[in-house]
C-alpha cells in the first residue's frame, strides 16, 4: 500500500516495518554494515529533512534529528 516502508527478509516476509519505528519515516537507504539511514522528508521541501539510523533489528540507534547522515565503516 502507498506510504508503507518496510524491509523484507530472505524469505520475503516483512522483517522491519518503519512505521513501527516512527510513523513519520518516509525514506530509507539500504543496509550497509548493519545500519540503514532513515529520514523524514516533507513532500514540498518546506520543512527541512531530518535523518537518523536503524539497526537490523529495526531499532532506532541514531535519533531522527540530524540534517545529514551517512554510513562509514
pLDDT digits (tens, 9 = 90+) for 2-42: 567 899 999 999 999 999 999 999 999 999 999 999 999 98
In terms of residues, how long is the chain? 73
SS (H, E, C) 12-72: CCEEEEHHHHCCCCCEECCCECCEEEEEECCCCCCCCCEEEEEECCCCEEEEEEECCCCCC
Position 3 scores a pLDDT of 62
Query: What pTM did the predictor assign?
Result: 0.85
3-state SS assignment for residue 19: helix
Amino acid at each position: 500500500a502507498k506510504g508503507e516502508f518496510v524491509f523484507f527478509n530472505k524469505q520475503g516476509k516483512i522483517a522491519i516495518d518503519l512505521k513501527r519505528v516512527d510513523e513519520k519515516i518516509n525514506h530509507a537507504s539500504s543496509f550497509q554494515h548493519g545500519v540503514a539511514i532513515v529520514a523524514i522528508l516533507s513532500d514540498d521541501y518546506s520543512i527541512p529533512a531530518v535523518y537518523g539510523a536503524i539497526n537490523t533489528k529495526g531499532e532506532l540507534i541514531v535519533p531522527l534529528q540530524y540534517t545529514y547522515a551517512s554510513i562509514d565503516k
